[in-house]
Amino acid sequence: AEDTRLGRKVAIKVLPEGFAEDAERLARFEQEARASAALSHPNIAAVFDVGEAEVEDESGPIHNTHFMVQELLEGHTLRTTLAPGALPLARALGLATEIAKAIAAAHAIGIIHRDLKPENIFVTKEGHAKVLDFGLAKLTESSPLSGGDSAESPTRLGTVVGQVMGSAGYMAPEQAQGSDEIDERADVFSFGCVFYEMVSGRRAFSGESLLDTLHAITRSEPDPLEAAIPDAPAELLRIVSKCLAKDPARRYQHADDLAVDLRTLATEVESGLVIPGGGVGVADREAGDTGTAGSVDTGQSRDLRAPVSGEKATDGDRRRMSRFMVVGIWIVAVASGALLTWAFMPSAELAPLVSRSAILLGPSEVLDAGGVTPFAISPDGNLIVYAADVGGTRRLYRRRIDEFDAHPIPGTEGASGPFFSPDGEWIGFFAPGQLRKVGIAGGQPQLIADTTWTPRGGSWGADDTITVGTASADGIFRVSAAGDGVPEVLIPLEPGDSSLERPVFLPDGRSLLYVAEMSARADVRVYSPDTGQSKTVASGLDARYVTSGHLVYAESRGNLMVVPFDPITLETSGSPISLGIQALVHASAAAFFDVSASGSLLYFPSGSERRHSLVWVDRAGNITPASEETGAFIGPKVSPDGRKVAVSLGVGTTESQIWVLDLERDILSPLTSQGTNIVPIWSPDGEWVFFSSTREGTYAWDVFRKSVTAGQRDPADLVLAREGFQVANDISPDGSTLILADGGPGGDLKVLRLEEGASMEAILVSDATEGMPRISPDGLWLAYISNETGRNEVYLRPTSGTGPIQVSRDGGSSPVWARDGRELYYRRGAELIAVEIQTSPELRLLEEQVLFEVNDVKAVDVEYDVGPDGRFLMVIDELSSTASSLNLVLNWAEELVEAGSPPGR
């Protein structure tokens, strides 16, 4: 069915009319809804709603129908998946780990499933497990989940002495005996039955009748697993045996311990490190070879890898023999090579091969940055998630590195900046005005926090804390991943900082790498929670720590560098070495690369084509191209007559130049050619452009002006020299005064009076940090931002007088005046807000209106301007469809030894 309110496909479960008249069945139906609705886990089918409706069926009469609405799953039950026989061990372990995690999540909130069986486990088309049907679930506490008569509560239903509840063949012995002492360990036994069947292709307990089956559960042991899997790893046998112990005290006491053991074994199988009980591991068994695993005719075990003497070799036998011959030849070759290596270099060890590959994007997939790195690689390096625009809609896609196809993640429309949880089971991401999370196996995204800031990267810590960098004066936030807290500032800005971005947790889960953006450079810093202080460890745009003991970071142009780093002392050592890789640098100065905990490096190559375009956006959010020219545009300003645009063009805020775009002829011409130049300002007559520039190797800004008609023929005129962090932001309507924001200590506002010998005077000095000043068209009011309340808000104050007036609510930044001065615009998170202003006979703030979502038009720069016709000039930024692949490098750390870079810790 379709949920018309939220526009999503759902599944509806209906209780047949006859069953609804059965009080017990109805109570079980409602029990399932309440139990399932209380669970939120990527491996548990989500329940959205439950209710009763009058329905007219084909026969005509109207009757009450009880229904449940849950997430729509595509795939098959585990029963159907097992129909051909046992699963390959690696796949069985992957599914089993997810099932165990689901059970552990239910147990954590006091719910026991009590009917775990292949029919109640779903395998999605992406290959993930979903546990269904909590109709027999029992709560470990006495109160029902939500309201209702206590006589029909889940607890009452599950504690009738002597009543056998569950499915024969999968229930625990204590369930089969009708005991009222049922706890979480009953689910562990049922899981053992399911897992036994997954790896062997046969049921653990069965009989000709129900009584025979129940007797087998309580009195007999299943056939030895070695009979079905002669080469079963010893650890597999131990796990299954522990799950199927008759005495609950001998089973796993907690499902999360079971999940840990399963995941560890899965890792060993995938890596080939598993030690089998019969001599040869099962990691190489093919799905097609498992059909004979359960066919032991005489009760004697048989080697499945070769035909018995006198038998005719089957195709499967020949495949296995051929494979083992190839493996044998390979072993001989490796042994010979190792012997030669040992002969000439006795101390040498064989190192993993460095591997480089490209992950091709689909023909219609356009990576969409949304202002942050659009992709992330999972901690184990096996999965990537990226934000892509397909058909005009940006959403998240997941893709295993060993697969060709990507799968969209439902409910992530408008998402950007994905990042993984430490266990790789969840993805955090940014939606318009929100921080959200979604399970890697699917399910509906969940809200973590509402936001008002512009996000610049997130990181998920081991203690379930998420940190978020912001493109604002707020600093780095932290919030609980559970969604039960309010974001608070963890690391505030230091004097001279413009923003703190792209945080990354270090292995201790407490210390933090992040990037401090300043006027002319960006530094990688490390924050110590013990001291509450930060220190600079490199100069770059982004950084990651890898377990080889190195720090990987990107220089201003995206060149990836590596340096030894100790995560305990938080110190680097030695000299940085280039990896010979240049990642693409986004207009917001983010370098497009990520590194998994295992050391896999994923990056977008810098040679890829990009589209950074200037567009006009009307009040309804409709977009019209302003030019066919493209580039990394920053901070566009429209000339007084609306015919030209001055804009910074370069890599982030480094090495950028001022260009002038003639809108009528669509010609883009350079105005400057040296240094780093930012924040162009038009003189009221449109003849001059003022801008701030820094000299190479210094942090101080000089203010220049240059004639637009002179072009590059004449040098720029110096207006203000070496005055620290002051950056000119606006000019008075009469052209006599520049308004500057001080990025140094204090963050105050100043004026530079051009007609009085360029004298400078402070006009707003406070303990807070102010910035982004814009003067009204009549010259009477100054709009600016300040963090005096603890977060950035937009304020007004008279240019001749005192007393601020707060304009924004719930956060605000980037104020811009309408050309007639009757409105003030500002950004609140992803929204562009218009505030009607009346200045006569006194100042009054009237109606506030949300014009459109900035993310909907893909505007990524916090700076924008307003033209004479009231339209907004904005920068949109996205990767071109010609950028067709992401590059992946494995085992790159092995090359560091050759380059002379020792590991850190």
Residue at 833: amino acid letter: I
Residue 279's CB is within 10 A of a number of other CB atoms, namely: 9
pLDDT at residue number 301: 30
pLDDT at residue number 378: 92
DSSP single-letter state for residue 404: S
Q: Which residues contact 543 (CB under 8 A, 6 or more apart)?
A: 502, 504, 513, 515, 524, 537, 551, 552, 553, 554
Q: Which residues contact 269 (CB under 8 A, 6 or more apart)?
A: 89, 90, 93, 233, 281, 282, 283
Reading the block at residue 339, the tokens are 């012997």
Q: 450 by DSSP, 3-state: which? A: strand
Peptide bond into 841 cis (omega under 30): yes
Q: Do 479 and 449 touch, CB atoms closer than 8 A?
A: yes
Q: 120 by DSSP, 3-state: which? A: helix
Closest to 452 (Cα-Cα) out of 844, 775, 790, 773: 790
Q: Which residues pair with 550 in a beta bridge?
A: 546, 564
Q: How far is CA 425 from CA 49, 409, 458, 616, in A?
A: 25, 14, 16, 41
**Residues 121, 44: Cα–Cα separation, whole Å:** 9
Residue 226's CB is within 10 A of a number of other CB atoms, namely: 15
Residue with tokens 């923003």: 499
Q: Which residues pair with 544 in a beta bridge?
A: 552
Sheet of 781-786, strands arranged across:
770-775, 781-786, 793-798, 805-806
Q: Do 495 and 744 touch, CB atoms closer than 8 A?
A: yes
Burial class of residue 699 (count of CB atoms within 10 Å of its CB; 0-12, 13-18, 19+): middle
Q: 185 by DSSP, 3-state: which? A: helix
**Residues 393, 413: Cα–Cα separation, whole Å:** 7
Pick the catalytic residue: 22, 49, 115, 865? 115
**Residues 217, 264: Cα–Cα separation, whole Å:** 29
For residues 855-886, b (16+ Cβ closer than 10 Å) or e, as one string?
Answer: bebbbbbbbbbbbeeebbbbbbbbbebebbeb
Reading the block at residue 312, the tokens are 């005719």
Burial class of residue 695 (count of CB atoms within 10 Å of its CB; 0-12, 13-18, 19+): middle
Quick check: is 450 catalytic? no
pLDDT at residue number 856: 63
Closest to 73 (Cα-Cα) out of 44, 116, 34: 44
Q: Do 130 and 100 touch, CB atoms closer than 8 A?
A: no
- Walking along the chain (905 residues) 10 residues at a time, the average pLDDT comes out as 80 74 69 70 84 69 75 91 91 94 88 90 91 67 35 30 57 82 91 95 84 83 87 91 93 91 86 50 34 31 31 38 39 40 40 66 63 86 86 83 82 89 92 88 85 85 91 82 88 80 91 83 90 91 87 85 90 85 73 85 70 86 88 88 90 69 90 84 95 67 85 73 78 93 72 80 84 92 86 88 84 92 88 88 87 72 87 76 68 58 51
**Residues 491, 527: Cα–Cα separation, whole Å:** 8
First-last CA distance in the chain: 54
Q: What is the secondary structure of 791-816 as a DSSP string? A: S-EEEEEESSS---EE--SS--EEEE
Q: Which residues pair with 53 in a beta bridge?
A: 65
Reading the block at residue 382, the tokens are 């096996």
Q: Which residues contact 234 (CB under 8 A, 6 or more apart)?
A: 275, 276, 277
Q: 841 by DSSP, 3-state: which? A: coil
pTM of the model: 0.52
Q: What's the count of helices (H) and strands (E) in the chain, helices before strands?
A: 13, 59
Q: 262 by DSSP, 3-state: which? A: helix
Residue 733's CB is within 10 A of a number of other CB atoms, namely: 15
Beta strands in 687-843 (DSSP E): 688-694, 701-707, 717-720, 726-731, 737-742, 749-753, 759-764, 770-775, 781-786, 793-798, 805-806, 813-817, 823-828, 831-838
Angle of helix 255-271 relative to helix 184-200, nearest 10 degrees, comes to 20
**Residues 659, 645: Cα–Cα separation, whole Å:** 8
895: left (phi over 0), alpha (psi -120 to 50) or beta: alpha
Q: What is the secondary structure of 128-171 as a DSSP string? A: -EEE---TT-EESSSS-SSSS-GGGSHHHHTT-TT---S-TTTS
Angle of helix 184-200 relative to helix 234-243, nearest 10 degrees, comes to 140
Reading the block at residue 849, the tokens are 């209106």
Reading the block at residue 564, the tokens are 């030894």
Alpha carbon 135 to its chain centroid, in Å, reads 33
Alpha carbon 254 to its chain centroid, in Å, reads 29
Residue at 554: amino acid letter: A
Residue with tokens 């759902």: 10
Angle of helix 255-271 relative to helix 89-108, nearest 10 degrees, comes to 160
Residue 624's CB is within 10 A of a number of other CB atoms, namely: 9
Q: Which residues contact 878 (CB under 8 A, 6 or more apart)?
A: 366, 367, 368, 369, 389, 610, 611, 858
Q: Which residues pair with 385 in a beta bridge?
A: 376, 398
Beta strands in 555-652 (DSSP E): 559-566, 571-572, 577-582, 593-595, 601-603, 610-617, 623-630, 633-638, 644-651
